Structure 1
Amino acid sequence: MQIEEALTKQYGPLLSVAQLAKVLDRSAEGLRISLRTDSDWSKSINAAKLKLGRRVYFRTAEIALVLSGK
């Protein structure tokens, strides 16, 4: 759980699109475009999506699992 601990310590329990893009070393707009595709990677990232009003966040714990390959 080292990835989860590091991400939670730096960003908290939820990641914004900009923060997730920074973690993945992508631009925010490039990340939005790639999350619209129908691939296994985008499905796993979109499973961690949480909408609060008009804002989109991603659960840090689930993103850490995706990044660790589990």
Structure 2
Amino acid sequence: MPREIAAHELNNLLCKILGAAELMQDHPMPAVLRRELETIAELAESAVELVGTLLDSPAGAGA
């Protein structure tokens, strides 16, 4: 159960990051900042996928 709680908390944080990145993309900004914002969103999405993969793995795997 602790693993599921940690995954839930991580996903909450990542959703906030993704939401903020999406809202920020609605505003004008220099191209260099837009690219950085896109990178942040892409990395957060990758982290969400990683959390899902860790949850799908057998308990204690790699321990």
Largest Rg, 1 or 2: 2
TM-score, normalised via structure 1 length: 0.27
TM-score, normalised via structure 2 length: 0.29
Higher relative contact order, chain-length normalized (CA < 8 Å, sep 6+) = 2
Which structure shows the bigger proportion of residues in strand conformation?
Answer: 1
Which structure shows the bigger proportion of residues in helix conformation?
Answer: 2
